[in-house]
Amino acid sequence: MKLSRRQFLQGCSYAIAALAGARLTNLAYAAPDDPADTLVVVFLRGGWDALNVVPPLMGDDRGWYEKARPGVKIPDRRLINLNDQFGLHPGLAPLHELYQDGKMGIVHAVGLDYDTRSHFDAMEFIELGTPGSKATTSGWITRHLQTAPGGSSGLLPALAAPSQPTSLLGMTATVSMSNPSDLSQWDNGLLGEQQAALRKLYRGDSLLHQSGLRTLDAVATVAPLNEQEYRPQNGASYREDELGTQLKTVAQLIKMQAGMRVATVDFGGWDTHEYQNDAEGGYMGGLLESLGENLANFYRDLDSGYTEKLSVVVISEFGRRLAQNDSNGTDHGHGSVMLALGGGVNGGQVYGNWPGLANEQLYDRADLAVTTDYRQVLGELLLNRLKNPNLEAILPGYAANFSPLGLFR
């Protein structure tokens, strides 16, 4: 097939457009023998209802919980017993086996030690790693990558699905996509010629030239993932939804054994002001079913030599009020729940100091109080699993107050 010069240049233009539209969350690659774990951060945008994710099971706290939530409470007959004090929402049932096997730990009453009920402020403070200050010019993951003993060089230093979060602010060498096909060039029969022309176009020393060549290299690295249908291992089966697609992509890239350091995944929809729950699950129950099934299958898919160097952290910007509102939902609160999964997790436990749900124990007499700063979880993760001792640089102003929970080995 003979193409005109106009058709060839048009094909190159399409290729450049395809590169600009890449959509894989941020990846960071290291040497395959690096002792640090691969980190996967799943951020639940919207503020999930921690008190329905891990509700109290007994005593006065159960009474306060049921009285405050007549329409959105989870009946105790449907809860999965974790440790007699707390239950797990049935939507997360697929994760219970990991919890029992010591591969998943839960941190309750965790969050920002700062007074805000703004989604945007809370998310920004958490991802910057500087509660109360937005003046920081880089995210906490970026500072980790910049100070990690193993560095953050490589074609795909950070992966973000579907777009770059504030935690990677200042990290320019990122790739954003939801699946590998997003990071590809249109093949009109002259793909090799297009790539050669683009490499000649980006030959130079400027940042633009370097970025263009890096993008072409990243496309070449991801290309093999598009050549055949991906088959998860160990009987894993991801849901055909956005979260399933993103986690499946992360699993594929981990299995490439290119030393991926970090992947961030966003999962939104948790701002449950209306019709949050009913006795059989409701809107939030559907979100939790997706989270539970996809995370469990992600772990199962990688449980063939990859999970021992894998750390997954699930976090949200805050929890919800104890009392339901007039729309059968819950409003912005304070204390939340974090999940940690991985081969280096001391799982099978609920961590943190439980503050109680009596009026005088609530934050602002309305919310679950925060008794564990979220940076305490991240600090232990950085030290024990990511092998980065530079806490003051990554979490400025917090290192002096740090003490481990015992969550990570």
- The C-alpha atoms of residue 260 and residue 262 are separated, in whole angstroms, by 6
Whether the ω angle into residue 90 lies within 30 degrees of 0, i.e. cis, is: no
pTM, full prediction? 0.85
Do the beta carbons of residue 292 and residue 94 sit within 8 Å?
A: yes
pLDDT category at 150 given cuts 50, 70, 90 is confident
Q: What is the pLDDT of residue 219?
A: 61
Number of C-beta neighbours around residue 33 at 10 A:
7
Do the beta carbons of residue 79 and residue 87 sit within 8 Å?
A: yes
Residues 163-190: what's their mean pLDDT? Answer: 67
Of 51, 46, 44, nearest to 277 by C-alpha is 51
Q: What is the pLDDT of residue 164?
A: 84
Of 325, 203, 349, 208, nearest to 275 by C-alpha is 325
State pLDDT tens for residues 359-372: 999 999 999 999 99
Do the beta carbons of residue 344 and residue 308 sit within 8 Å?
A: yes
- Selected residue with higher pLDDT from 246 and 187: 246
Residues 331-339: what's their mean pLDDT? Answer: 98
What does the mean pLDDT of the chain come to?
85
Q: What is the pLDDT of residue 199?
A: 72
Residues 156-184: what's their mean pLDDT? Answer: 71
Residues 254-261: what's their mean pLDDT? Answer: 79
Residues 64-81: what's their mean pLDDT? Answer: 95
Measured CA to CA in angstroms, residue 405 lies from 98, 183, 264 at distances of 19, 40, 23
In the chain, what percentage of residues exceed pLDDT 90? 67
pLDDT category at 403 given cuts 50, 70, 90 is very high
Q: What is the pLDDT of residue 19?
A: 34
Residues 79-100: what's their mean pLDDT? Answer: 97
Q: What is the pLDDT of residue 184?
A: 52
Residue 383 clears pLDDT 90, i.e. is over it: yes
Exposure of 26 by Cβ count < 10 A (0-12 exposed, 13-18 middle, 19+ buried)? buried
In the chain, what percentage of residues exceed pLDDT 70? 76
State pLDDT tens for residues 15-56: 333 333 223 344 444 555 678 999 999 999 999 999 999 999
Q: What is the pLDDT of residue 283?
A: 86
Residues 379-396: what's their mean pLDDT? Answer: 97
Residue 354 clears pLDDT 70, i.e. is over it: yes
pLDDT category at 406 given cuts 50, 70, 90 is very high
Q: What is the pLDDT of residue 10?
A: 41
Q: What is the pLDDT of residue 186?
A: 52
Exposure of 238 by Cβ count < 10 A (0-12 exposed, 13-18 middle, 19+ buried)? buried
State pLDDT tens for residues 270-286: 999 998 875 556 789 99
pLDDT category at 256 given cuts 50, 70, 90 is confident
Residue 157 clears pLDDT 70, i.e. is over it: no
Measured CA to CA in angstroms, residue 109 lies from 11, 115, 124, 195, 244 at distances of 54, 14, 20, 52, 28
**By three-state DSSP, how is residue 120 classified?**
helix
Residues 222-234: what's their mean pLDDT? Answer: 76
